[in-house]
Amino acid sequence: MSPRKKKSEPGYERPTSGPGSQALNPSIRQTIAFGNAAWEQDDFAAALQHFRAILQDHPSFADVRNRAGLCLAMMGDPEAALEEFDEALKVNDCYSEALLNRAIVLNDLGRHDEAAECFHRASALDLRDSRAFPSHMGNQLANAHARTGDLYMAAGRAEEAATEYAAAVEVRPGFLDLQFKLAEAYIDLEMLGEARGHLEKILASNAEFAGARVRLGALLLRMDDPEGARREWERCAEQNPDDRRIRAYLASLD
C-alpha cells in the first residue's frame, strides 16, 4: 500500500512579495509546474527538488508540502514524509488528502493505532464536508473549480477567477486555501470589503495562517487603516520573529 499519487486537494498558501503584491510570482508558478511535471513522470527526486525550492521561501504551501511528502514516501523515506504531511496539516487542518497519506505511511510503518486515528479524522472531515456531494466527488469538484480559477487568474481575468473560486468555496467552505484564493481575486477586482471578510474568516478558523494575516495587513493599509495593518503585522512578527519581510512591512509604516 502506498500514498495516493494522483489526487491532490488544493492547499497552498499564495505568497506575497510585498505589502501591495497581488499576483503569484511567475517563477513560482513555473517551479510548481516543473515539479508537477516531474511528479507525473514518476521522477520523484526531481519533483522533490522543485518542491523544496518553493518551500525554502514559502513554507506554508500546504499542497506543495503534501507533494513533497508523497515524493519522500515514494523514495523510501517515510519519517521525512510524515514531517511534510504534519507541516501541511499545520497550515490546513482540514486537508483530508494529507491525513490519508499520513495514515497510509503510518500503517506501512506498523504504527497502526496512529494510522487508525488519522483515518478516523479523515472520515470525520468527509462527513462534515459532504453536504450536497459525496466527499470524493465534492473534493474533485472543488479542485476543478480552483484549477480553472487559477488559469483565469494567470490570464488576468480576475472576474472569471472569482466566479470559479466562489463555486469551489461553496462546495468546500472549510478549505481555507480556497477562501484565500477568493480573497485574492476580490482584491484584484477592488472588492476590498469582500476580500477582508474572507481573510478574517480564515484567521478566525486558523490564527496561524500567516499568509492570510500578512495579506489582511496589506489590505487594511490600502483601506486607509494603517493602525489595523500595524496590528496584523505585529501579530505576524510575534508568530514569526525571524521573518525579515514582516519587519520591512512594519518599518514602512514609520
User: What CATH number did the domain enclosing 209 receive?
Assistant: 1.25.40.10
C-alpha grid cell for residue 241? Answer: 520573529
Q: Which of 114, 129, 144 is the last residue of a domain?
A: 129
3-state SS track over 175-228 = CHHHHHHHHHHHHHCCCHHHHHHHHHHHHHHCCCCHHHHHHHHHHHHHCCCHHH
Domains of the chain: total: 2
- 13 within a domain of the structure (yes/no): no
pLDDT of residue 133: 59
pLDDT of residue 22: 36
- 14 within a domain of the structure (yes/no): no
pLDDT of residue 134: 59
**From the CB of residue 208, how many other CB atoms can be counted at a distance below 10 Å?**
13
Q: Which of 129, 163, 189 is the last residue of a domain?
A: 129
In angstroms, the first-to-last Cα distance of the chain is 56
Domain with 217 in it: 135-252
Extract the residue ranges of the chain whose pLDDT is less than 70: 1-26, 123, 125-137
Q: Do 104 and 140 belong to one domain?
A: no
Residue with cell string 508523497 = 70
pLDDT of residue 214: 92
| Element containing residue 249 per DSSP (H, E) | helix 244-252
pLDDT of residue 126: 57
- 62 within a domain of the structure (yes/no): yes
Rounded CA-CA distance 206/164 in Å is 23
Q: Do 160 and 248 belong to one domain?
A: yes
- Contact between 102 and 2 (Cβ < 8 Å): no
pLDDT of residue 125: 67
pTM of the model: 0.57
C-alpha grid cell for residue 136? Answer: 470524493
Q: Which of 96, 129, 162 is the last residue of a domain?
A: 129
pLDDT digits (tens, 9 = 90+) for 67-91: 999 999 999 999 999 999 999 998 8
- 15 within a domain of the structure (yes/no): no
Q: Do 203 and 106 belong to one domain?
A: no
- 2 within a domain of the structure (yes/no): no
